[in-house]
Amino acid sequence: MPDIRILNPDTLGKPLGQYSQITRVKASEFLFIAGQVAVDSTGSLVGADDVDAQCVQVFANIEAALKSQGAGFANVVEFTTYLVHSQDIPKFMKYRQREFPRMFPAGAYPPNTLLMIDRLVGEQFLIEVQTVAAL
């Protein structure tokens, strides 16, 4: 494992969700994973009009990308999350509260930047997550 430290200094406000303020990483190898949307391995949409189901698929895709390189969620150094509807923020928060403790059993949630934008590549997509990881 690379040396990944996930940190929340006292001089910054406590994170308001399942993320942290800083990753400090010493590594010589990185993964850049294209933003993932809710399509399965056959290219079909998963979770039409259902942001929770889309979250499940998006993070399953990220996990598949990580696993394909012998890595896992513990290798993630940064997420950037794009939502299309601000009404979905509470559902995204709830998804993370439910699932992240299992995905990140050490309780070290990577930094995340949460942004509301106009649209993703297709109207059917409600969430996209971009990931950087270290190997």
Residues that bind its own copies (CB under 8 A): 7, 9-16, 19-36, 39-43, 61, 64-65, 67-69, 77-78, 80, 82, 86, 89, 110-121, 128, 130, 132, 135
Query: Minimum distance from CB of 123 to its own copies (Å)?
Result: 8
Q: How far apart are CA 134 and CA 132, in angstroms?
A: 7
Give the number of other Cβ atoms within 10 Å of residue 73's Cβ. 21
Q: Contact at 8 Å (CB) between 4 and 20?
A: no
- Our CB check for its own copies shows the closer of 52 and 63 to be 63
From the CB of 95, what's the least distance to its own copies, in Å? 15
CB of 36 to its own copies, least distance (A): 8
- Please say which residue, 29 or 101, places its beta carbon nearer to its own copies: 29
Nearer to its own copies, 47 or 110 (CB): 110
Which residues lie closer than 8 Å to 64 by C-beta, 6 or more apart? 41
Nearest distance from C-beta of residue 99 to its own copies, angstroms: 19
| Identity of the residue, 9 or 102, whose beta carbon is nearer to its own copies in the bound complex | 9
Contact yes or no for 31/132 (Cβ under 8 A)? yes
Give the closest residue to 107 by CA, choosing from 64, 74, 58. 74
Question: Rounded CA gap, 87 and 76, in Å?
Answer: 27
